[in-house]
Chain A
């Protein structure tokens, strides 16, 4: 299989990839900040409880409703881009590039279906929560729609990325050129 010289087609994929990635970078920055926030809030909560007998009453809900949800969904698509979602590559190690494009196409297509459905119901769930004004009972009425909107936000990016990868692998397979990047095989390339 030839690599490299497929000119315009590759550039189209590269542009689309970078377009999605520009959003991913914003989201993962927020996700990273949320990660650091969890660290600071948890430690601060314990500190305030142990030394001042005054824990943060809001930390449990804030972390479990928003921050953990944000960390996962804001990293979801970026992790896929960096091939960070662990896969079993024992069979892939023994396949040629074209066969690997074919198998990545199938893998991408079935994933598109599932995440497409999850995106569809995720949007509906977030929207209805916003319309109804769902909020937790308690001292602070944390609105639920914020966390619920993280779900379709993260999944929509992953979905776009899956569609792009699936199409890319289909074209790569058909034209026998590497349009879409193949995941690295463990032990041969730099893992993310």
Chain B
């Protein structure tokens, strides 16, 4: 009952435009005061802020974000699209397919979806519009391809899930690879279907000479360096996933340095932007901690687990409801905030139902990806709208076929959990 009142107050504060982390802290404080007394409130406020951030595991969050900033600074991100276009531009819808491949490539070297959408917008949308692509097709592909960065390692979202759920972060990151490839295929298949239904949506691009194709391979070197500096370093055991985040950031910095793009002011700017993003995420984690103490004392989780366990239905129905809930939440809230808020509450239920926490983490990330492109709060759509100077409604219209495709992928992963779990199981 008290938990319900807490959630109601949370909704009110969020509706008032209170930042998510602040709202959680306020409701948690009020709830602790209501359940306990001022001493308890002060005790929590004394420990929670410091102990949330005073953590070695958490360095992967700022480091993966910093890595994304340096990847953008290096110019590698921009070259990805043109390199992909050189190779697949000739096929129907080639530039759109190149966009999704560039999105996957960017995902493999960066952990931030919004950065991916911004970078892809700047390079691929002008190229597609110039070749007479339907704007909604072009923008939809860019918005959805940007989401791949959350799923394909490195991923800030997976790291945060791993920290909250106390799940092996290495297994999570490696577990995202095959689903990342599947989602990329799903995007390509959606593009091809759209063009098959109406060929006028996309024009063929010009052909490229072998020399141009070979020249585009210059990007392979930096890409390999970046891939090795995170995924390779984890896989070979040179460093832990946590440490690999720092090596990845330094690798991206070195490539930016090699490309002659490093100026002190730009480096400082990159670190400052990464600092803002890190601070935002950690503020939500901290608010969720304070809220979590209140929520724990209401003993709602135990009741929830007991209630779900007593339900006489198949676990898959409950999983379907949970996924539906995530899709709805994704329409309203920031993805990281959703993770931090829901995972501690739902994870005991998931484990009790016999599902694997690594599999669930990857599934939640894909579901959250959908939230990045659905109205009314679809961060990637806003980013694309800003770069492409297209109406938001037009872009939302362009993403819905991809939403359908994503839901099919989610269904596939629910039916075949091995698609997620097989690769991590080969690690040792």
Contacts and interface: CB of A to CB of B under 8 A. Distances in A.
A and B touch in the complex (CB under 8 A): yes
Interface residues of A, number: 68
B29 interface: yes
A38 B42 contact: no
B247 A46 contact: yes
Given A86-B334, A90-B332, A39 B17 contact: no
Q: Is the interface of B mostly helix, strand, loop or mixed?
A: helix
Contact of B62 (A38, A82, A186): A38
Nearest to B283: A85
B18 interface: yes
B29 A117 contact: yes
Given A72-B53, A76-B279, A87-B17, A111 B62 contact: no
A21 to B, nearest CB: 13
B16 interface: yes
B275 A147 contact: no
A133 interface: no
Contacts of A91: 15-17
22 contacts: A31-B275, A36-B267, A39-B249, A41-B246, A42-B63, A43-B246, A46-B238, A64-B54, A68-B54, A68-B59, A76-B279, A79-B275, A84-B280, A86-B19, A88-B14, A89-B377, A104-B16, A111-B26, A114-B29, A122-B46, A186-B377, A190-B386
A54 to B, nearest CB: 15
B279 A84 contact: yes
Given A39-B63, A64-B56, A72-B282, A84 B277 contact: yes
B55 A64 contact: yes
Interface string B370-387: 000000110101110110
Contact of B16 (A78, A103, A124, A151): A103
A164 interface: no
Interface in A133-148: 147-148
B357 interface: no
B333 interface: yes
A73 B286 CA distance: 12
Nearest to B271: A32
B271 to A, nearest CB: 4
Contacts of B284: 86
Contacts of B54: 64-65, 68-69, 147
Contacts of B394: none
B13 interface: yes
A93 interface: yes
Nearest to A83: B19
A42 B59 contact: yes
Contacts of B19: 80, 85-87, 107, 111
Contacts of A41: 246
Contacts of B249: 39, 43
B278 interface: yes
A143 to B, nearest CB: 14
Nearest to B253: A39
Given A64-B54, A147-B54, A88 B15 contact: yes
Secondary structure of the A side of the interface?
A: helix
B91 interface: no
Interface in A57-78: 60, 63-65, 68-69, 71-76, 78
A40 interface: yes
B96 to A, nearest CB: 23
A5 to B, nearest CB: 25
Interface in B329-359: 332-334, 336-337
B274 interface: yes
Interface of A: 28-29, 31-33, 35-36, 38-43, 45-46, 50, 60, 63-65, 68-69, 71-76, 78-80, 82, 84-93, 100, 103-104, 106-107, 110-111, 113-114, 117-118, 120-122, 124-125, 147-148, 151, 155, 183, 186-187, 190-192
Contact of B18 (A82, A107, A122): A107
A36 B67 CA distance: 11
B77 interface: no
Nearest to B335: A86
Interface in B255-296: 267-268, 271-272, 274-280, 282-284
Nearest to B273: A192
B130 to A, nearest CB: 25
A113 B42 CA distance: 12
A43 B238 CA distance: 11
Nearest to A92: B17
Contacts of A103: 15-17
A88 B336 CA distance: 13
A9 B45 CA distance: 35
B271 A36 contact: yes
Per CB-CB distance, the 7 closest pairs between chain A and chain B, nearest first, are A42-B246, A85-B19, A107-B18, A32-B271, A75-B279, A187-B382, A103-B16
B177 to A, nearest CB: 23
Nearest to A45: B243
Interface string B1-41: 00000000000011111111110011001000000000001
B250 interface: yes
Given A68-B58, A75-B276, A78-B275, 16 more contacts: A32-B275, A36-B267, A36-B271, A39-B66, A43-B247, A64-B56, A75-B275, A76-B279, A79-B275, A79-B280, A85-B20, A85-B280, A93-B376, A113-B26, A117-B29, A155-B49
